[in-house]
Amino acid sequence: MRAYLRKLTFVLFLLTVVELPAQQSPVFQFYRDVLAIPVGGHVPTTDQLFSILTDDTARSLPEAEIHATLPLVLQCVKSPNAEIRQDGLYFLIALTLRNDGARLLEPYIDNLKQILDEYKGDVSPRHTILYVLGSLQPEPPAKAIAYLEANLDNSRNSSEETVTIAASLIEASPNDHAIVHRVLSVVSSRSDDNLTHSVIRQLGLSRTRDPEAIGFISTSLDSNSPGIRESAVDAAARLNNDQKALLSSQLARIASDPKESPKVRNQAAQALKQ
């Protein structure tokens, strides 16, 4: 019995040693202190937060500190005080800088989904949380992707939020035909040039090989809109050679068309040489 008690005491000591540094860290203390500010009290400036939460600090924070701090961060994100909410969102954004950000934030995705579903104030927290879910490294967790896909055509979304969701889905799954088809269906159903430009660009950046996506870029190369054609040329130039070859005749036409801008003609010509 005494041996068991000694072992239990030792385990509790180890847990205390692991947890104590996180609780005493400047980042943990900042969020703990922010949540203790009374209504109408002075909230620390953004510069004060950034003095302790730099990019380098965010990348090197121990896991214990992150898990100790995240519950406080989520409370901040739900705060009615816009400054406190923003402080919480900055920590979530910082996690997108980490190669293990997806694993660290995955246990809290349900909490973020609840905030997204229940939030009734301004759109800033929603947009940022959607960005974070789609930007986690090395790739967004399946649960995050499923949530983004389910909310792609949500009527609550602002135009910027739809762009963020669509681009994130393409970036995460550029060759998943079901996801690509879903995104392109939403894009085609809307007259939103910003959404169209963003999705075309992401298809190129992600070097999609999906046939429907290549067909969408091809259609966009023939668009009556100079801006859409320019985005399509940019996307085509970034594709792998096999996919780019499927668009070579259209690129050649644009490269020799005096009605196109010099910039677009040159980009099409360069794409054919690569």
Residue 144 has pLDDT above 90, yes or no: yes
CATH for 174-274 is 1.25.10
Task: Judge whether 89 and 126 are in contact, CB under 8 Å.
Answer: no
Sequence-separated contacts (24+) of 107-113 with Cβ below 8 Å = 108/70, 108/74, 109/133, 109/141, 109/143, 109/144, 109/147, 110/143, 111/74, 112/74, 113/147
Reported confidence tier of residue 122, pLDDT bands at 50, 70, 90: low
What are the structural domain ranges in the chain?
A: 1-151, 174-274
pLDDT for the residue 39: 86
Reported confidence tier of residue 119, pLDDT bands at 50, 70, 90: confident
pLDDT for the residue 24: 66
pTM: 0.85
pLDDT for the residue 143: 96
In this predicted model, what pLDDT tens digit does every residue of 9-30 receive, in sequence order? 434 433 443 444 444 689 999 9
pLDDT for the residue 118: 87
pLDDT for the residue 40: 85
Give the span between the Cα atoms of 97 and 66, in whole angstroms.
Answer: 13
In this predicted model, what pLDDT tens digit does every residue of 155-195 receive, in sequence order? 889 999 999 999 999 999 999 999 999 999 999 999 899 99
Angle ∠(60,18,21) on CA atoms, nearest 5: 60
pLDDT for the residue 120: 74
Give the span between the Cα atoms of 57 and 51, in whole angstroms.
Answer: 10
Q: What is the mean pLDDT of the chain?
A: 90
Task: Judge whether 229 and 221 are in contact, CB under 8 Å.
Answer: yes
Residue 134 has pLDDT above 50, yes or no: yes
Give the span between the Cα atoms of 108 and 144, in whole angstroms.
Answer: 10
Give the span between the Cα atoms of 162 and 153, in whole angstroms.
Answer: 7
